[in-house]
Amino acid sequence: MTKLREKYRTVDVLLIDDIQFIIGKESTQEEFFHTFNVLHAAEKQIIISSDKPPKEMETLEERFRSRFEWGLIADIQPPDYETRMAILQKNAENFSKKIDDHVFSYVASNIKSNIRELEGAFNKIIAFSKLNNVEINLEMAQEALKDIIYPDKPKEISPSIIINIVAEHFGVRPEDITSKKRNSEFVEPRQVVMYLCRSMTDTSYQSIGKILGKKDHTTIIHGVNKITEELKTNEDLKNKIDIIKKKISPS
């Protein structure tokens, strides 16, 4: 016990996950209480996490509750879609072959709970690819993750889903919408994508611009505003948007 105390009471930073599990464990609580006091007096950093804030831990001793509330209390939410995409793309930098963004979007749209599960799913795709010597694409990713992502599971609406459905509706390819091509037949579907990405997802103007051929955010704002204004008088466009929205979110 002496060695254990020396180990934890001389650290510069103490990190403890799921602190709520000490509730009801008297000896553990006593040791932690004194360790906390020693480290706090020495102005060391103490970082703890739990599944709820201190005031909601009904059976937590008051001496712990008061100490936990001395510092900064931060509510950490699961990563949003854009963050999940960025995490997957960062992980992919260690992989020798290029992976299409549609694969990242599929994983990011379906696995939302935490980073550990997100990275685990990505590693499973990589392992499946190496084991079966197959190229990584959307179909392969769906096969690799079929035991954790079910076809009938509700999916988060993502820019990738919007692009694919808009492209299908207008009879163009998704790559045409995301390219820098200025052909007249791509202008309307591209602006519809801009509008729907802003109205149906929390994707920023900058991120939409990056997806759509690295366009400036002012171009995206212009496209969104143009569709918004046209919807006020253009019944044909309104019908198109309504049909596309139903395809994106059938429920």
- DSSP label of 182: -
Which residues constitute the domain of residue 44? 2-68
pLDDT value of residue 149: 81
Whether residue 49 is found in the same domain as residue 105: no
The larger pLDDT score, comparing residue 189 to residue 101, is at 189
Task: Tell me, yes or no, whether 52 and 26 share the same domain.
Answer: yes
Inform me whether the pLDDT recorded for 41 exceeds 90: yes
Sign of CA dihedral 115, 116, 119, 124: negative
Whether residues 235 and 179 fall in one domain: yes
| Reduced 3-state DSSP string for 88-155 | HHHHHCCCCCCCCHHHHHHHHHHCCCCHHHHHHHHHHHHHHHHHHCCCCCHHHHHHHCCCCCCCCCCC
> Of 113, 144, 175, which residue is a domain's last?
144
Q: What percent of the chain has pLDDT over 70?
A: 97
How many domains, the chain? 3
**What is the band of 20 on the pLDDT scale with cuts at 50, 70, 90?**
confident
Domain boundary (68, 101, 126) is at 68
Q: pLDDT confidence of 86, banded at 50, 70, 90?
A: very high
- Per the prediction, the chain carries an average pLDDT of 88
User: Is the per-residue pLDDT at 250 higher than 80?
Assistant: no
- CATH number reported for the structural domain that contains residue 15 in this entry: 3.40.50.300
- Residue 242, classed as helix, strand or coil, is helix
pLDDT reported for residue 151: 60
For the chain, the C-alpha Rg in angstroms (whole number) is 25
Average pLDDT over residues 38-58: 87
